Structure 1
Amino acid sequence: MSLGTIIRKKREELNLTLDEVSSRIGFSKPYLSTIETGKVDNPPSDKLLRKLEKTLKFKSGLLLHIAHMEGMPSDIRKKYESAEAENLKWRQFAKKLMSKKPRPRNLKRLLTKNELDVEKGLSPLSAGRMIPVINKVSAGYPTDFNDLDYPVGIADDYVRCPDLHDPNAFAVRVVGDSMETKFQ
């Protein structure tokens, strides 16, 4: 179930209208509607999600977790969910193990029974490359952009970027509020 569907379902369970939720959290009704229908281009901010959690009586951190999971690329999300499921199996196994206190010779049988393989290798996680941040541009159309005469790969600041192999890659910092969800 998508983030927007979960929010709408909970709001309707509490018999709240979009107007009521909007006035309580200080975000516009049309924006909340686009979140609920899944038509929003950018994911809601953590600040908005925390306000929604409080107003709609969600467990603290639940909407943030769902939004962050939805924002992950699908291949990474699948790996994460698979690792999380494996982790849960191991935690449940450890709990059973502690309660039964089996003999070491029975341990292999117990592992097999719980479909766990201690020999199974985990794929290494890659932290990614550090990419130089060479300039800043205003939000919207990046006019007056240049590389500030930095040599390739050199900068005052760097950001980590996974799965990038271009040795000439660089980043720019976007500044401004043109993409804010709330107009003031």
Structure 2
Amino acid sequence: MRHGKKVNHLGRTASHRKAMLSNLAASLIMHKRVSTTVAKAKALRKYVEPLLTKSKSDTTHSRRTVFAYLQDKESVKELFDIVSEKIAARPGGYTRILKTGYRLGDNAEMCVIELVDFNEDMLAATAATAAGAKKTRRRGGKKKGTEGTEAAADATSTPEVESTNDETKSAE
């Protein structure tokens, strides 16, 4: 039994798992998104997010620590030069997992894991909604003093809806 075991071994030896996660992390940093299985993506998220946090401080020690995990000079350079500038203001949650369906061969659940700040489509959509309207969040139900006024408002709004429906029918 695996009670309390946090690491998903992914059916691999420790050295194979370490090499696979290192290669996936380097690919994610270089290409900003990677298509893989959900289990590997969740393991990759736990592997790469501390590296992204470490890249915020550009020191020799942090570069060497990250290189020990990635073993790829180009991805370390990309991480510290380009990626760290975009994620500097973000307090965490640097990756996003988007499920894409099931693989045809073995029906494994597939997904795309991506760096959050590098998806231009979603960034544009959130900027448009933020500029368009102020978001308000409302919790709870009715207030005590407004129960009668809401009922009266519902009663008056119902005939208006019916009259507009009658007008559209007569126009046809």
Q: TM over 0.5, yes or no?
A: no
TM-score (norm 2): 0.29
Asked which structure has the greater CA Rg, the reply is 2
TM-score (norm 1): 0.27
Could you say which structure has the higher helix fraction?
2
Query: Whose RCO is larger (CA < 8 A, sep 6+)?
Result: 2
